[in-house]
Amino acid sequence: MDAAASSSSSSSSAYFPRKYDIFLSFRGEDTRKTFTSHLHSALCKSGIRTYIDYELPRGDDISQSLIQAIEDSSISAVIFSKNYACSEWCLNELLKILECKEVQGQLVIPIFYQVDPSHVRHQKGTYQEAFEEHFAQNPGKVKQWKHALFETANLAGWDSRIYRDEPELIENIVNDVQQKINPSYPSSLMRLVGIDENCNEVERLLEKVPIIGIWGMGGIGKTTMAKALFTKLSFKFESSCFLENVREEVEKQGLTYVRNNLLFELLKEENFPHRPPNVASNASVMRRLSCKKVFIVLDDVSSWKQLEYLAPYYEYLGPGSKVIITARHKQLLVIAGVNAIHEARPLSAHKSVELFNLKAFRSYNPKIGYESLSRRVVHYAKGIPLVLVVLGSFLRSKTPKEWDSALSKLKKSPNEDILQGKNM
């Protein structure tokens, strides 16, 4: 199952360089020479700067050096093992980790190693036994520790019990950590000319409000923009889901399927190892959502009915959650009551030329003899990215005569026909 992480509401904090990529919190007697050692080795081999406390802790209060190490880490991985709760040192360490999560946006990944996550969440089994002893010896801290365990165990994490073997689990954890410390656009988005013209404005809006609507005609780049932002920012959330082509998926699969797909992606934890046939209308689902900081994109929503079926879940999302809705019609977003609306604008003339040339000539400049023809295509496209991409790909390697013939046909065709592959 995919792990996810949390951050504070401050989007900038996650980008400050830290001394360590990840801090490992664990009960030494349980896993120091086994799972934790193997995980530490795998992280280091992958070039991930990992802090591990090699000193066996003495006493119950964590040291200043350990506090500093936690603060200097971008991520904390908490390895819950059978006897984790027996250690006041571990429990105090967890309090500090959650403080850093809240104050400086540290990402927190729980790892349930050979222990039932519900035992951690609700202090059952060995965790209950440990707290019976804590209550007798240190009753003042018990409430804080219990809350810390509940909060951390409610984050999306990794459950060792559902994996075939330990190496598979460790490989998935390492891959997930790498993605979280190296947020970037995927290679398919890297060379999309002009994407920042719209993305930067939407990202600024997301820093201020929780729900953003993006509207504009087909082909203007709404989905591409949303994908870029989702790829760039989703690592900062505990769970995330990009529902692409909502309109098309609803037509094919139905509203219930789309809703359940959304909930499954947000809740694929230890209790949802497989896609359920129906996870809606469940009080526990709503409770779990309220504990999560999530990022949702609903792409190409086309009717109020679709939003009405999905929107009720917004109110259950945890603090700091963000939602992006893309649609062709502004009025739909107004009715939905989003906090801010961004109109996807066409590319500037300069960016249009750049994008078209990259597709048609694989260069920023047109071939000799094609300059005038290129300007005609760009003028026809009116800054719509998908039209530029489709025409550039279609005209690539064709002769000037073939270009002129195609352009003569384009004069009689609206952009919508080009997007549907007509008259080409």
Rounded-to-5 percentages of helix, strand, coil across the chain:
55, 10, 35
Distance CA 412, CA 268 (A): 50
Please name the residues in contact with 113: beta carbons below 8 A apart, sequence gap of 6 or more.
30, 31, 35, 79, 80, 81, 160
Describe the strand order of the beta sheet including 50-51 as a list of residue ranges: 50-51, 20-25, 73-80, 107-112, 158-159
CA-based max dimension of the chain: 90
Distance CA 22, CA 1 (A): 20
**Which residue among the candidates 29, 55, 88, 93 is catalytic per the annotation?**
93
Distance CA 385, CA 382 (A): 9
Is residue 30 a contact partner of residue 81, using CB atoms and an 8 Å limit? yes
Any bridge partners for residue 213, and if so which? 325, 341
Look up 93 and say whether it is catalytic.
yes
Region class of 62: left (phi > 0), else alpha (psi between -120 and 50), else beta:
beta
Distance CA 129, CA 112 (A): 18
Burial (Cβ within 10 Å: 0-12, 13-18, ≥19) of residue 55: exposed
> Which residues participate in catalysis according to the annotation?
93
